[in-house]
Amino acid sequence: MTHDPLAPRPVRDSQSEMDEIVLPNDANPLGALLGGRLMHWIDLCGALAAHRHSRNHVVTASVDHIDFLVPVRVGDLVILRSSVNRVFTTSMEVGVKVFVENYIADSAQHVASAYLTFVAIDREGNRLKVPAVIPDTDEQKRRYDDAGRRREFRRSEFNRRNVR
């Protein structure tokens, strides 16, 4: 039996998690995590899910806006979770949700969420088709539907910004 590389794959197969302890080099002089460092981690964690789902190289095509909801401090444990919300043709929307975990109090707070679009490419930079993603849970189905609406919005904003 031949393996079809474009066979659809469930969301759960590529869901990813990345954990980071905030060190002084990640923070401003007041000991608060730099927004740029968090954006870097969000990009990496998003790419994990995109790599796992597409089983190919990917580039970040866009990052939707990010709100930083609560400050994060040196010594805090940051948890990032990513999953592929929807695949289009060569691109996929990945959602990344970030929490700060207080491991002493055993509590977690939502820090930020972001939607990123990754495009699968080969070593020469040619775009590649990505297998469809199968949402199983109600939450995954909601994200799948929402991703379609976000793509339309993203496209119209892209065209508006890049009118020459």
Return residues touching ligand COA (CB under 6 A): 59-62, 88-91, 117, 119, 127, 154, 158
Q: Tell the smallest beta-carbon distance from residue 74 to ligand COA (Å).
A: 28
Q: Tell the smallest beta-carbon distance from residue 62 to ligand COA (Å).
A: 3
Q: Tell the smallest beta-carbon distance from residue 117 to ligand COA (Å).
A: 4
Residue number of the CB atom closest to ligand COA: 88
Q: Is 22 helix (H, G, I), strand (E, B) or coil?
A: coil
Q: Tell the smallest beta-carbon distance from residue 84 to ligand COA (Å).
A: 12
Hey, what long-range contacts does 119-122 have (CB within 8 A, 24 or more apart)? 119/58, 119/59, 119/61, 119/90, 119/91, 120/50, 120/54, 120/56, 120/57, 120/58, 120/90, 120/91, 120/92, 121/56, 121/57, 121/58, 121/59, 122/56, 122/57
Q: Based on CB atoms, which residue is closest to ligand COA, 83 or 90?
A: 90
Q: Based on CB atoms, which residue is closest to ligand COA, 88 or 99?
A: 88
DSSP code of 5? T
